[in-house]
Structure 1
């Protein structure tokens, strides 16, 4: 059945737009099938959800930093090699200020605290470092007493420990512990860190806890916790907004039921297939919600218009037969957009692409199985209601359309200038490698970092390692000493790049002459004082040496990367095969990896969507113009970030690829409506007016609901989630503007140049 327009009507009233029904062939039969078998489909969805729910609850977050890199990534391979050679560099520092720090009583207390920490499950007790072990060394007889009694020896020992175990103020001190690899621990890393923090809080005075393992743990902890809490709050806000728009319990609950079912099915499938969530894929819930809410919003408004003249079942059959093609193509192009992430070299990004493709497909399955029965089952709250003020929204959309046709050249020129502005801004984008910037300033980890870096020096630990033949060779030791001194001298912008350099020669040179003058004698004394010192720096089987480095964690991005590069180059002058590695280096390069990957995947997504749109509308020109309103907001948004100097973090690195996969849905519904109206016999002007008033209204409603829902992400403790919520909201708003302004402008340039939209 096709509702034919009056060809003489070119100015349809804004307050009561008509709709065109396309009940043809395959889609008519599909709609009839879904309605006829609606109860069976609803039961199928319920049973599938019940079976999948227990599995969905087992989906775990992969908390390893390795999960953010490709398995063959050079940086990851170097890090894993170092862990196998030296046991890794997962150090945790507990720092505090203590009066009378250098008294025997204080040193005894520090030693006792270090032993207590060493007894914790997951801590390597042999590697615990304390100031008392330096100033009151055991196992070397009377010589150990000289460290506190002879001022020159004591000062030498303090200088050796400065920047790691004692501050320049000689009041700040720290205990440094080394974590066992998690696979060798009897408890989880989370439990180990919780026990460490409990001891730190009970210490008098309370101690601050810092270290890369702590940052990584806190990152995943916040992502998981905020994802659950904020997801619930976001859903409640969405429920409230949808109820406000339609004043119907049925139409409020229906989209949330559909989204939750799709999420449960997706998560269960991931568990069964052996996949795990990563920090990147923590956005799964949010993105599936966007897709599901947008889908139901189109159905709601279209069904509501038909219910003015049609009985309930017929109205739904007409709605489904008309909108299912657009819904299916919208899901297909969204899946193509996210499928482009499979090109990534980073395993979690590829996994996220697979997860989102599954999420989109399960959302479509949920729409097919839940919506027919959900709409027609029972007699409560049957119809979504309409406000009187909606005519003003529709009228405003039509006025916007008239403005587009009144000043097309001005709007086109302005859009072009904004695109150029955005493209230039892309060149100014800078990368944030200060991992602490992922947390709010008042978070415990940031406060701890501020304390340590203000009083002790850098809280960032990494290393440079290289082949080293023999620690008994004086010539080799001299070469190592020269490298150590040159590393200490590296400066960035007039300041020392490294706050602490710990080389094997520092331990040797630290031993006073009274304990021995030869290299062998000093090595023997050092092994008695610190049995773990030599094994932690030199692997005799693999003939590999490392120098431990400490640097400021809260360092600007470009300075941190410059420092790592200079350290590498300096080490390679002495040892050509030298490598810089460690959690500090991995964390500094995460965004670089994500950003470079996103450029490729975004390009593939745009190409894939162009092909999909070309096939859907059987026109390469339509495929091309459909990209414009979706690329427009992304280029301007990301370019603006470059202009204002905002640093790219984990939350912004993926925004381009994610946004184009979401905003293209609106373009498909707009284009489908336009061509449907044209096919029914309406003129270009009439088709645009009907599309702008009807589809435009659903776009406004869905975007307002989603922006309100995602605004709750600004409450997160994890800064990238805040950025993600804000930027996705802005991208959706930009996509809305692009589809309501640029798309009709482009369609007119393609199909309606000779027509005039009358007032």
Structure 2
């Protein structure tokens, strides 16, 4: 095997110019495609096209158009007054003018509808909606309370329905409206939606409103994507900077820094181009591509660099040092990249589309890193010296760096020797870790409220708290019901019966705060004797004329000669735990299916999508973890030709994730989106040390050393690059702890903790168990 590695290393160095030309040519071809890869920020990108949950939501999109609902909520002590309605009308006009907003509903829109329904309402001397003696006004007030206004009439809302294809622009436009209202520097232009004159419009005083909030599931998703995208750039920049600094400081050779940077850039470009050729878009979890690629590349370069410097110092020739380093480390680096690829490829068993794509993407990146090192490494390593040999750097190397590396090497040697010679203590430690895992595992709980993904002191969370307190729930979802092409009173009566049953739903205290449909509007209109005498289809036709946005949002035109679709809009609390959310959704589905009109009905909407997305992520975390373990184990068995050693190495690298997650349980915290995939990802991040240890161990056994000597010196040999890399990675991933998006912060902290634990067990437990087993 060693002769085979030497021949390949010699061949790579001999044809290094061909290798660099191939690297440049492939980069030139891939670069344009890599730039076309786009970041898909939609919630639908998180689901497989065949997922029934997504298909129901897409039906809602196609049949009702703008269905993503966002609420602009504000406090106005005099909302239920003529001036309050005028202020709401001014705000409604601004929201309606935003690009991507397909329709709005608000107290002023209701007021205009009542004015059309009751033409003589102007005789009351005030806005029609405020007439408490009128049954239509009272009915609309009761029907939309908790939706367009709070029960105490001190908070108003402009409910905006967004174009699903233009959600990002619509939310940004509504944020601009909020900013303008908060700064009081905008006079609304209501010329297209108001009957007031210019002088009257200018007299509207919007300074009387306060506590302006923008809420809705689309806002949560948009904010989460923005934070994740920003965190991904920050992580990539920080990780690359720190690891490059580690390479420079530990090796004092610019060639190795250049090798790291060039291979990372080449591998990321090739990966992005490949994903674009495959027709894939970047999604939620794809933003850490550059960071993971940096980790895989720099850890390999550190191992090459340490061996390169040792040979270079002894023999002086860059070519000889490059040949020796490549021939000794080619196999373990190839195996490291392969195990990384296998570990992440295991994410392919996930039911969440972006997680599967992420696994494929990192597997491609790991393969690209290996190819990049093979094509670019030989030329840079065998080039004339680029070591920092000037007097200051020489003094730094001799007075600080070399003594530090020798001290780390001696420390690793001492620790490994103790571990190998005192197996009993290692066995006791392993037993203690097993007990710790067993105790913590039982207490692990999941946190899947999407609102909990943001810090408690964030403005977004505070907005939701205010809205849920005043309106009773900010979670919006829907029920789609098949209706006859000609809707009659009997059908609407059945719908109202279903609504009554839904309002009675109670799951451990979780209830629906609002159930709304055209059947309610028809009921309100029927309170007037003249209206009651009309046919239901006539009343609905009048509703279509007076409130077209409301009608179109809740009823489609006939889809064929017999059928159209009716929509029930449901509201519930956003801040519910996963168990309550899933039970509430299941109970609503049961009640709907048991109703007279619900045999073919579908429960869908943003609320349902997000609840099932997070629940799926948690479940998939463990499925991917075990798949990753199996794939890595098989690869270790095939490459090392030893089931015993492969099993020990795998067990050692399962420990870090299990210990960290158990610690979460014992500390009373919950597993969230950020920690859901940490178990599967951690195997790919921590297995590198084990691979290099086993390669070094086999070489020393082949030279005739004893098992204990081989295990001790193999551990010491990997200690310096492993500790340096871990230090930089811990700082890099730990830097995410400050993120405003809680899953990102959790992911960073857990990765850092897992890397630390992984380094410790790889330098202590692994050599002891391998020596004992052999």
TM-score by length of 1: 0.89
**Alpha-carbon contact 2:673-2:743 (below 8 Å) kept:** yes
| Alignment CA distance shift 1:627-1:436 (3 Å) | same
Higher mean displacement: 579-588 or 141-150: 141-150
Please state if 1:295 is matched with 2:312.
Answer: no
Which of 440, 455, 469 pairs up with 1:454? 469
Higher mean displacement: 508-517 or 166-175: 508-517
1:63-84 deviations in whole A, cap 9, x for unaligned? 2211111111121121112223
Please state if 1:549 is matched with 2:570.
Answer: yes
Matched residue, 1:164: 147
Take 1:431 and 1:258, find their aligned partners in 2: how far apart are those partners? 39
Take 1:248 and 1:151, find their aligned partners in 2: how far apart are those partners? 86
Residues 143-542 of structure 1 aligned to structure 2 (within 5 Å): 143-145=120-122, 146-151=128-133, 153=135, 154-182=137-165, 188-203=166-181, 204=206, 205=209, 207-312=212-317, 313-381=319-387, 385=397, 386-423=401-438, 425-469=440-484, 472-494=487-509, 497-511=511-525, 512-513=527-528, 516-518=531-533, 520=536, 522-539=539-556, 540-541=558-559, 542=563
**Alpha-carbon contact 2:618-2:672 (below 8 Å) kept:** no
Please state if 1:698 is matched with 2:690.
Answer: no
Take 2:434 and 2:52, find their aligned partners in 1: how far apart are those partners? 37
Take 1:231 and 1:177, find their aligned partners in 2: how far apart are those partners? 37
Matched residue, 1:129: 105
1:355-397 deviations in whole A, cap 9, x for unaligned? 1121011100111122222223233316895431333322322
Take 2:28 and 2:277, find their aligned partners in 1: how far apart are those partners? 15
Displacement of 1:715: 3.2
| Alignment CA distance shift 1:220-1:515 (3 Å) | farther
Which of 568, 574, 578 pairs up with 2:589? 568
| Alignment CA distance shift 1:54-1:509 (3 Å) | same
Take 1:472 and 1:299, find their aligned partners in 2: how far apart are those partners? 75
Please state if 1:744 is matched with 2:767.
Answer: yes
Higher relative contact order (CA closer than 8 Å, sequence separation 6+): 1
Higher fraction of helix: 2
Displacement of 1:510: 2.4
Displacement of 1:727: 1.4
Take 2:541 and 2:17, find their aligned partners in 1: how far apart are those partners? 82
The secondary structure found in structure 2 opposite 1:454 is helix
Matched residue, 2:117: 140
Matched residue, 1:69: 47
Higher mean displacement: 700-709 or 716-725: 716-725
Higher mean displacement: 527-536 or 322-331: 527-536
Take 2:139 and 2:178, find their aligned partners in 1: how far apart are those partners? 29
The secondary structure found in structure 1 opposite 2:276 is helix
The secondary structure found in structure 2 opposite 1:686 is helix
Matched residue, 2:4: 26
**Alpha-carbon contact 1:89-1:461 (below 8 Å) kept:** no
**Alpha-carbon contact 1:713-1:721 (below 8 Å) kept:** yes
Take 1:115 and 1:690, find their aligned partners in 2: how far apart are those partners? 75
| Alignment CA distance shift 1:71-1:177 (3 Å) | same
Displacement of 1:214: 1.9
Displacement of 1:97: 0.9
Take 1:607 and 1:740, find their aligned partners in 2: how far apart are those partners? 23
Matched residue, 1:621: 644
Displacement of 1:635: 1.8
**Alpha-carbon contact 2:235-2:732 (below 8 Å) kept:** no
Stretches of structure 2 that go unaligned for 5 or more consecutive residues are: 123-127, 182-205
**Alpha-carbon contact 2:70-2:215 (below 8 Å) kept:** yes
Take 2:570 and 2:410, find their aligned partners in 1: how far apart are those partners? 65
| Alignment CA distance shift 1:715-1:642 (3 Å) | same
Q: CA RMSD in A?
A: 2.5
Take 1:260 and 1:375, find their aligned partners in 2: how far apart are those partners? 18
Higher mean displacement: 622-631 or 372-381: 372-381
Q: How many equivalent pairs are there? A: 721
| Alignment CA distance shift 1:558-1:344 (3 Å) | closer
Displacement of 1:733: 1.6
Matched residue, 1:597: 620
Which of 570, 575, 579 pairs up with 2:602? 579
**Alpha-carbon contact 2:675-2:750 (below 8 Å) kept:** yes
Displacement of 1:620: 1.5
| Alignment CA distance shift 1:144-1:670 (3 Å) | farther
Displacement of 1:291: 0.8
Take 2:106 and 2:268, find their aligned partners in 1: how far apart are those partners? 49
Higher mean displacement: 382-391 or 697-706: 382-391
TM-score by length of 2: 0.88
| Alignment CA distance shift 1:413-1:330 (3 Å) | same
Take 2:250 and 2:134, find their aligned partners in 1: how far apart are those partners? 79
**Alpha-carbon contact 1:136-1:148 (below 8 Å) kept:** no
1:409-434 deviations in whole A, cap 9, x for unaligned? 23223313423432454454333332
Displacement of 1:136: 4.3
| Alignment CA distance shift 1:143-1:565 (3 Å) | farther
Displacement of 1:524: 4.7
Higher mean displacement: 732-741 or 428-437: 428-437
